[in-house]
A and B are shown apart, each in its own frame.
Chain A
Amino acid sequence: MSGISLRGVSKRYGSVDVVHGVDIEIDKGEFCVFVGPSGCGKTTLLRMIAGLEEISGGDIFIDGRRVNGIDPARRGAAMVFQNYALYPHMTVEQNMGFGLRMNGHPRAEVATRVKDAARLLQIQDLLTRKPRQLSGGQRQRVAIGRAIVRNPQVFLFDEPLSNLDAELRAQTRVELAKLHHQLAGSTMVYVTHDQVEAMTLADKIVVLRAGVVEQIGAPMELYESPANIFVAGFIGSPKMNFVNVSAERDALRLDDGSQLARPQTKTAPQRLGVRADQLTIIDPEKGAIRGEVSVVERLGDSELVHVRTAWEQEIVVRVPGGTNSRVGSTVGLALAGRVHFFDAEGQAITVTSQARTND
């Protein structure tokens, strides 16, 4: 049974297409994250689901019901805004209960529902305060509380953590994940440009670029087998390394002339992608790629070693913490794990049999 489904949804502002015929199925109870760079149409999509933005083409169904043209309040969805959008002149309690009271719910019922939501979010002590007396994190909770009070089938989050500092963001992220379990059964759609949030929170990630869905899948699915260069580069930190290769009969030639074994593929690979932790630093004489260490980022548990290749490209390698790589030293790199290949259009190429790459 489907929670939300988008079929051929598009959005046009005048003559500018911002969303081009998007199809997305979100299951009931699923936590779905729309992720992509700014301007990719993710927020527009969310606002179309909410009903704040008109749908130019296609259909949106919530719980099997076509909601095009239905008033936002009657779609069974609640939204948490980027800037919280709390009413500055009302107390926390009034903010949370405002929608219910305005729609004629009895005072006592509103009070219990507000109390329940406040307990869930541990903001019982803040109920009589005004928004300007709250910290950013507290405002965030109140905004979520306002959504919970309405008991919606669908929660919509529009970059809810982007105004918080790094520490609070990490903390709130964990709490949102907990909340999703506590509110089992409610579907959540969450928009962010931060792939870490997407990876940590999502059951399903939708990667968008320029109004087009690049890939839909579970976090590890996107991480392990990105459909194209864009997804490969967007998901995962540090960013995947890409190296240009030219395909020869049974080898792949790098820009400095060194060779790698060619895997068996249908089309000829043009680029090779490898994540930082799938590379190892070895003796310069033995490595497939040679380069000079330019920067070392020490993260504690690991080190990110930036290696400058003969063709002036920076490749990042993750090595265990305490390795103490020396800047300026010449090293060799070996492909030590999964390698991704992409064709001229940037689409991933399926490898029919992975060639041995390390030696």
Chain B
Amino acid sequence: MENITKNITEQEIWKLLEQVYDPEIPVLSVIDLGIIRDVKLNNEAIEVFITPTYSGCPAMDVISMNIRMALLQQGFTTIKITQKLSPAWTTDWMSDAGKEKLKSYGIAPPLSKSFDINYFENLTIECPLCHSINTKLISQFGSTSCKALYQCNDCKEPFDYFKCH
């Protein structure tokens, strides 16, 4: 195994991390989410810097473990995963490809406007199923920390909206 890591570059690690998915929203990789801050390679030791999406998000622990597993499979033995809180993650860090994937998965992606303390959502959210913009907010809090619950007034389907943060 030890030979495998020899010629791997940081760029290839980034590529590899595209295969590590969010356990709650399995269409999004950690790259799509924009939570990988940095990757540092030093011979056989590797350090990955990640930033949490939400303080209490239980997926973060699973994501850290999955990153570790992916690196172990590449033959790394000294793996450090460091959580970096600042600058705080916002939904703007999510890639455009990620937003498209969310939409086709049935979750309305966050609107591009990033969140600040003066920002209160009174937004037009498009139904990811029938694309109507005639939708209403059911609850600011949904099935996970990152989502709000909406309903489409036209097709009547309830749907998740990945809220701005």
Partners in one complex: no
Interface, chain B (partner A; CB < 8 A): none
Interface, chain A (partner B; CB < 8 A): none
